Chain A
Amino acid sequence: MMLPCPHCGDRDVSEFRYGGDASKQRPQHGTGDLQTWHDYFFLFENPKGPHTEYWQHVLGCRRWFKLARNTATNEIGEVVS
């Protein structure tokens, strides 16, 4: 699988670190109760289909980015940000 690093271009997946579901909203620093943080940190939609997720080009430029990928097919979509 090749992932599109926004800085370096298409690179093999082995250069990247997966960072999980990017559709989850991290509570603002200093806000959010225990339940909010629990739901944010521990619960996953885990869809079979379109998924937005974080990746870091950890063995490259170290850029974190949001990517659309289909978990049912591994089809790579756009870099979201």
Chain B
Amino acid sequence: MGRTPQEVRFSGPCRAAPKSDTNAPVSKHYSALALARHALDPDMPWPKAWESPEPKSSYDVVIVGGGGHGLATAYYLAKNHGITNVAVIEKSYIGSGNVGRNTTLIRSNYMIGGNTAFFEHSLKLWEGLSHDLNFNCMVSQRGQIVLAVNPVQMDVFARRGNIMRLNGIDAELLDAGEVRKLLPYLDWSKDARWPICGAIMQPRAGTVRHDAVAWGYARAASALGVHIIENCEVTGFVINDGKVSGVETSRGRINAGKVGIAVAGHTSHVAKMAGLKLPVESHILQAFVTEPIKPIVDNVISWGAELFYLSQSDKGGLVFGGHIDGFNTYTQRGQFNRIQTVAECAVSLMPFISRLRMLRHWGGIQDMTPDGSPFISRTPVRNLYLNGGWCYQGFKATPASGWTYSHTIAHDQEHELVRDFALDRFEKGRELDEFGLGNWTYKQ
């Protein structure tokens, strides 16, 4: 094998790309055995995780947006509804949006009627996702502990936990002593600004390797025949007589029987191309990671004093976040004052963090709706569907979003789990306000 040292050249033109011989045996199915076979035969190539075909002139369904929700929708269109003539059109690379920018939390601790069943369905799908996709998304059900800082908050948490239990969802109420046993590193000193007085825990909540979700859905969808088209920007919709029949893209027109939008963060200006004005503003949410350290935080921790949530990634970094910056922007650049706010939360809640170092911070643009809840819905344009407005909860919703949105598109009728995610709910006075924060429109 190889050349001798004398035959080697160290400069000159580019060397050829590595061979990917399509006739060679490849392991389409991922397993420990396949890994071992590749380890023994280093020349055996892995197949591409997803194909990158040239776009066809027409598809039954075009999904605009190759993020977690778009790819999941395409996968379930093919898998659940037998609709495989589908293209997912992504302006950049797949997973370039919020699916790769969030803090990777999954949970189903929702208490409002329109939410509980949807998010529990999502958690159930998460639980089987790696198997379903044959792609290890590292679904880690390490439990989420939400810390309460006063007795009134304990009552509010209790209401949430009771609703969860009444809907077959796991929830535990912990008193301060029980929390201290689990999380001895929190600030239990007299210095704590708001002493921790208890918590509610969902043992089945946890984290998922976020990028793997995009890649896993893409690979599984591609295997079912879905076309994944990257670096292709949708520039307009073809609409006649109130009915959509295709999209204009940077790579030409693509006809479509139905079109689904799933472009969280940019929902307003994509929808505007179809003449829609939405109850959505785009806001930046920042996220943070420390350098990797050995395991120290074994659960997902959230705090009732201020919006703050933290977990430790399998790689070892503490991943955490807080509130949106508080004004609309598309820049993906956060303001430093918010970074301070979040660091103050981290150090005040877990004083050992003070000595750790932040490795990176970044921002994602998320759709904020007046009541904090999303849309999965038909639109006033026939055959055009909308999925957006996810606020803080897009990532954990990914599987159920794909599941119900694909149903909504396939049947031209909202799935029963998303009836309350309707676009017209503000006209009807049916706000879906999970946290009782009110319509934030003026106060943000």
Touch A–B, Cβ below 8 Å: yes
Residues of A within 8 A of B (CB): 1, 12-14, 17-21, 34-35, 38, 41-48, 51, 53, 71-74
Distance in angstroms from B101 CB to nearest chain A CB is: 18
Verify A17–B444 contact, CB threshold 8 A. yes
Verify B441–A18 contact, CB threshold 8 A. no
Distance in angstroms from B281 CB to nearest chain A CB is: 5
Given the interface contacts A44-B278, A46-B280, does A72 sit within 8 Å of B337 by beta carbon? no
If A41-B441, A43-B278, A74-B333 are given as contacts, then 8 extra A-B residue pairs at C-beta distance below 8 Å, sorted by A number, are A14-B335, A14-B337, A18-B327, A38-B426, A42-B370, A48-B266, A53-B327, A74-B331
Verify B426–A42 contact, CB threshold 8 A. yes
Count contacts on B: residues with CB < 8 A to the other chain: 26
Distance in angstroms from A31 CB to nearest chain B CB is: 19
Verify A19–B442 contact, CB threshold 8 A. yes
Residues of B within 8 A of A (CB): 266, 268-269, 277-282, 326-331, 333, 335, 337, 370, 426-427, 439, 441-444
Verify B327–A43 contact, CB threshold 8 A. no
Chain A interface secondary structure, helix, strand, loop or mixed? Answer: mixed
Instruction: Give A24's nearest chain B residue, CB to CB.
Output: B441
Given the interface contacts A1-B335, A14-B337, A38-B427, does A46 sit within 8 Å of B269 by beta carbon? yes
Verify A71–B282 contact, CB threshold 8 A. yes
Considering the complex of A and B, which 10 residue pairs feature the smallest CB-CB distances, nearest first? Answer: A14-B337, A46-B268, A18-B327, A42-B426, A42-B279, A48-B330, A18-B444, A43-B277, A46-B281, A44-B281
Distance in angstroms from B100 CB to nearest chain A CB is: 20
Q: Specify which chain B residues have a CB less than 8 angstroms from the CB of A34 in the assembled complex.
A: 427
Contact of A72 among B268, B278, B331, B443 (CB under 8 A): B331
Distance in angstroms from B434 CB to nearest chain A CB is: 18
Q: Specify which chain A residues have a CB less than 8 angstroms from the CB of B330 in the assembled complex.
A: 48, 71-72
Q: Specify which chain A residues have a CB less than 8 angstroms from the CB of B268 in the assembled complex.
A: 44-47
Given the interface contacts A38-B427, A46-B280, does A19 sit within 8 Å of B444 by beta carbon? yes
Q: Specify which chain B residues have a CB less than 8 angstroms from the CB of A44 in the assembled complex.
A: 268, 277-281
Verify A47–B269 contact, CB threshold 8 A. yes
> Given the complex of chains A and B, what is the CA–CA distance between A47 and B441 in angstroms?
16
Distance in angstroms from B335 CB to nearest chain A CB is: 6
Verify A74–B444 contact, CB threshold 8 A. no
> Given the complex of chains A and B, what is the CA–CA distance between A21 and B281 in angstroms?
9
Q: Specify which chain B residues have a CB less than 8 angstroms from the CB of A35 in the assembled complex.
A: 427
Instruction: Give B333's nearest chain A residue, CB to CB.
Output: A74
Instruction: Give B426's nearest chain A residue, CB to CB.
Output: A42
Instruction: Give B325's nearest chain A residue, CB to CB.
Output: A13
Q: Specify which chain B residues have a CB less than 8 angstroms from the CB of A73 in the assembled complex.
A: 331
Instruction: Give A45's nearest chain B residue, CB to CB.
Output: B277
> Given the complex of chains A and B, what is the CA–CA distance between A71 and B265 in angstroms?
13
Distance in angstroms from A78 CB to nearest chain B CB is: 17
Q: Specify which chain B residues have a CB less than 8 angstroms from the CB of A47 in the assembled complex.
A: 268-269
Verify A42–B441 contact, CB threshold 8 A. yes
> Given the complex of chains A and B, what is the CA–CA distance between A72 and B277 in angstroms?
19
Instruction: Give B268's nearest chain A residue, CB to CB.
Output: A46
Verify A71–B337 contact, CB threshold 8 A. no
Distance in angstroms from B334 CB to nearest chain A CB is: 10
Distance in angstroms from B30 CB to nearest chain A CB is: 39
Q: Specify which chain B residues have a CB less than 8 angstroms from the CB of A74 in the assembled complex.
A: 329, 331, 333
